[in-house]
Amino acid sequence: MTEVAALVAALAADTLALAKQLIARPSITPDDAGCLDLIGARLAAMGFRLERMDVGGVSNLWARRGTEAPVFCFAGHTDVVPTGPLDEWHSDPFEPVVRDGLLIGRGAADMKASLAAFVTATESFVARHPQHAGSIAFLLTSDEEGEALHGSAHVVRTLAARGERLDWCVVGEPTSVDRLGDMVKNGRRGSLSGVLTVRGVQGHIAYPQLARNPIHEFGPALAELAAMRWDDGNAYFPPTSWQISNIGAGTGAGNMIPGTLEARFNFRFSTASTPASLQARLTEVLDRHLKDYTLVWTLAGLPYLTPAGTLVETALAAIRDVTGVEATLSTTGGTSDGRFIADICSQVLEIGPCNATIHKLNEAVAVADLEPLSRIHLTLLDRLIGQRNLP
């Protein structure tokens, strides 16, 4: 067996085995269910220094091998979303099974396959380069699928306070669409939410002159806001989107004008806008239409972007060499922990398996994708830290 064939066989077997072990741990957010202990033991065996940063019921691991720059970091989460109706799964979601070429189980694609690939790629790299240049790090949390308050955000704040920065970071979110490697996320939009309360005057529906209907007041403002073009986006991002997610008013009675209306909305915004500019434009509309209202804002994350550069070029080449696929760069989709990591790392990419089944019943990842996913990460390590190509 050639060196490359032996490597491929080992990565395939080891990545599948570790992915199964991780899926078998019911780590419904924010419970880690022992995943970090499992990964940490394998990292420690390679000489990583482990640092747990658990807080607020969330499990976090910062692990680093080496003390010098450059620092290459793998980042991800061990937590998964709830299973949904168990009787609609074809098998127990936390008893991983392989069927028809798929590894099935909650978290298979989002993102325990990626975690397994991170570890096996690193094991292979360290075995061949025990005295590698720079540092390899892992930033892992059990608080990505939940509130995301005490996970990567906490670790990043801690590292920033210590003056630690990363040169390159790969987040293992499931980014592929039709086949492994066809899409890489080089940024994400920001998320800005608001809760609007419009106060009117409650009254009998037969005497509107004695009341003030907050629904009627908000209608023209809603129409104007829904028609607004907030920005034109740019070369990397689509235009900013504003959407109402919930709206409610009234007591349920058919003969009452309600006294208040509550509307919840969200901006998914690009680097072409700022939270301050979006807040100012929305408030200006409300001030023209509403007599009495309050507005509470929540900024879940700023947009981040990794333009063309060392990490992008190396990742696209690695994907091409391993899979034969020409990856597309994209900033679509929801938020990820990349938005936090970008505070201490100027080059952040998300690379992972196909996302067709994430958060769904019978979540699955193709077994055939596990080895090339690991080898993509191994190639990145070789070319960025080992400074050599695979044989």
Question: What is the H or E stretch that residue 140 is in?
Answer: strand 135-141
* Residues taking part in catalysis: 79, 144
Both tokens assigned to 349? 């990419």
Overall size of the chain counted in residues = 391
Alpha-carbon gap, residue 98 to 47, rounded angstroms? 32
- How buried is residue 22: exposed, middle or buried, by Cβ count under 10 Å (0-12/13-18/19+)? buried
Q: Could you tell me if residue 348 is left (phi over 0), alpha (psi between -120 and 50 degrees) or otherwise beta?
A: beta
Burial 277-312 (b: 16+ CB within 10 A, else e): ebbeebeeebeebbeebebeeeeebbbbbbeeeebb
Phi and psi at residue 162, to the nearest 5°: -90, 0
End-to-end CA distance of the chain: 14
